[in-house]
Structure 1
Amino acid sequence: MQPPGGETLVNFRTNFYTEQEPFTRTVQLLGRRVDLRIWPSQFHWRFGDGADLATSDAGAPYPDLQITHAYESKGGVSPSVDTTYAAQFRVDGGAWRDVDGTVTIPGSPVRLQVRTARPVLVSYQ
């Protein structure tokens, strides 16, 4: 999440993203080569204040603010993201076939302190 350091401000758009990416694996199963293509198909963002959002977008670091959330009150929250994966497989170099269903991996919450900012007038002389 951004800004970094585990702190953000009330009413400030906090940026969220994950670095989950597609990957491949090859396994031997019953003496046959099985290739797997696995990719994140959905993200369920839980912002820790009761708000959540489901997207097919992993978000991105600043300045690409794709997944943001503004907290309305100060305090500690624990946002997380659950990632749902879809997959395809092929046996011995054959045609790719869809795997029925998906698998969702729950994300570990991180601590985030939401603070209020108070403007202060100063004199420069």
Structure 2
Amino acid sequence: MLNLINLHNLKGAYQLKNQGGDFTYFYNEKSNNLIVINNIDDEEIRDVVDDTDQAAYMYLTNKLNIETNLTVIWYKTEFDSSDFILIENVDGKELHKLDLIDLENVVLGEYKFDKKFVKLIDGEVIELKF
């Protein structure tokens, strides 16, 4: 497994902090941003990332490059492309220690993974369209 994640257009060092079950956590200390990637069915992390719509991918990496206190849950749906949930105003330093269920309880609240690309700000769900 990679100790650092290296993605096109993503600046800064995101270090492997936690790996459990089907999820891998990468954290950037300087920006306090956390990337949680689902590599379900033993798919490589790269497959999850590469299967993201190009406009959505660029939006997400640009946000991660310029903003702080973001957490991304990035996952691949069965028979579909990859989706993500972008959560703003959260402390990634504390979150990367949590298992996925606890992480979801802390940052997602009542959100049920029912939209393709989503931004959550203080519990408000905003669907992103690309």
TM-score, normalised to structure 2, is: 0.22
Flag the structure with higher strand content. Answer: 1
Tell which has more relative contact order, 1 or 2 (C-alpha 8 A, sep 6+): 1
More helix by share: 2
